[in-house]
Amino acid sequence: MIKIEHLTKKYGNHTAVDDLSLNIEPGRIYGFLGPNGAGKSTTMNIITGYLAATAGTVTIDGHDIFKEPGKAKQHIGYLPEIPPLYPDMTVLEYLEFAAELKGIPRAKRTEEVDEACITSGITDVADRLIKNLSKGYKQRVGIAQAILGAPDVIILDEPTAGLDPAQIIEVRDLIRSLGKEHTVILSSHILSEISEVCNYVFIISKGKLVAADETEELLTHMNGSQEVDLTVKADLSQADGIISALSAADGVDNVEVNDSTESGCISVKAHAGKDHDIREAVFKAAVGAGLTVLEMTTRSRSLEDVFLELTTAEDTADETDEASEDSDAPAKETPEYNTDETLKEGGDEE
């Protein structure tokens, strides 16, 4: 459906999108997840033909967005980060105007606008001025504009940003229902949003794709460190023996022993190395060491932990790249990226 190949966008010498390649298949809800400044909006603006790329290609249903923008854009409905609304128009006037801009034939406009209003749940406010609507309704009007003309793909840039919790739930429900008829791509810097709404996640950090997987798979496969918590009948004088016995278990990375709130017991935490399921090995090692296990629980890391790890790991990789590039270029005063700058930038945008 959409094929992005080696897409790069530079603003001056700042690389906002860095050799990004990915595929969008029909019929799913995709999430672009990344911290502020990751390059999500830039990527969306390029896919939708609002921004030129520095290098790389984007094809939509076989049409190159740069060579055949008209044909490519027909397949896409877009809600940019700042919705292009006209506050002094009524909802209906605005949507009729948007339908005209999209080249929907006059005879079909009323019907299409009505349909978009029904789908987005804004029929009740169709005659109101846009400026008098709540932010949640304004966002729905923006979504109605995006779905006009029944495009195959709907691209929504941070569609719930700035909404209150009730409005967020409504807009998420709307996005889920759009996913039944359309391919949807939405961006967010909020993990829970992506994990609740999207089937498939692209994690973007500093313009690069750092992970791409089914939401479920991301949660299970990429969660590198499982933690097994045990309550065993023992006291702290046995700690060293317990640590050495459990550390020897297959896949275990490190073991911590602490006092337990329960008298006569200690609490043991065994951390797994990446991609290891250590439950069985830990249990057997504990029994092998003659321990009485009263309780055993497993914790997996959240998508949030995975996300942080991926986006932080990328920082380091990036600096290494930068350094090697610099070696054959004239010395630069300041590196293009540094963590402080990114944090500041994130803060500003919030």
Ligand X SMILES: Nc1ncnc2c1ncn2[C@@H]1O[C@H](COP(=O)(O)OP(=O)(O)O)[C@@H](O)[C@H]1O
Which residues from 231-250 bind ligand X, rule CB under 6 A? Answer: none
The nearer residue to Mg ion, 160 or 225, going by C-beta atoms, is: 160
Does 182 help bind ligand X (rule: CB under 6 A)? no
Does 48 help bind Mg ion (rule: CB under 5 A)? no
C-alpha–C-alpha distance, residues 226 and 252, integer Å: 9
The residues facing 293 across adjacent strands are: 232
Nearest Cα neighbor of 50 from 28, 24, 78, 74 is 78
Nearest Cα neighbor of 43 from 61, 31, 26 is 31
The nearer residue to Mg ion, 198 or 234, going by C-beta atoms, is: 198
- Helices 239-247 and 279-288 sit at what angle, rounded to 10 degrees? 140
Q: Smallest gap, in angstroms, from Cβ of residue 159 to ligand X? A: 13
The 153-157 sheet, strands edge to edge: 76-79, 153-157, 183-188, 29-33, 200-205, 208-214
Question: 309 — phi, psi (to 5°)?
Answer: -65, -45
Of Mg ion, ligand X, none, which one sits near residue 151, judging by CB under 5 to 8 A according to partner kind? none
Q: Smallest gap, in angstroms, from Cβ of residue 177 to Mg ion? A: 24
Does 34 help bind ligand X (rule: CB under 6 A)? yes
Residue 323: exposed, middle, or buried by beta-carbon count in 10 A (0-12, 13-18, 19+)? exposed
Does 38 help bind ligand X (rule: CB under 6 A)? yes
Nearest Cα neighbor of 260 from 216, 211, 294 is 294
DSSP three-state, residue 21:
strand
Of Mg ion, ligand X, none, which one sits near residue 206, judging by CB under 5 to 8 A according to partner kind? none
Of ligand X, Mg ion, none, which one sits near residue 153, judging by CB under 5 to 8 A according to partner kind? none
| Contact (CB, 8 A) for 121 and 136 | no
Would you say how long the chain is, in residues? 350
Q: Smallest gap, in angstroms, from Cβ of residue 13 to ligand X? A: 11
The nearer residue to Mg ion, 41 or 183, going by C-beta atoms, is: 41
Does 225 help bind Mg ion (rule: CB under 5 A)? no
Of ligand X, Mg ion, none, which one sits near residue 39, judging by CB under 5 to 8 A according to partner kind? ligand X
The nearer residue to Mg ion, 2 or 38, going by C-beta atoms, is: 38
The nearer residue to ligand X, 36 or 110, going by C-beta atoms, is: 36
Does 42 help bind ligand X (rule: CB under 6 A)? yes
| Interface pick for Mg ion out of 4, 7, 41, 265 (rule CB under 5 A) | 41
Does 45 help bind Mg ion (rule: CB under 5 A)? no
Would you tell me which residues interact with Mg ion (CB under 5 A)?
Answer: 40-41
Would you tell me which residues interact with ligand X (CB under 6 A)?
Answer: 11, 14, 16, 34, 36-42, 345
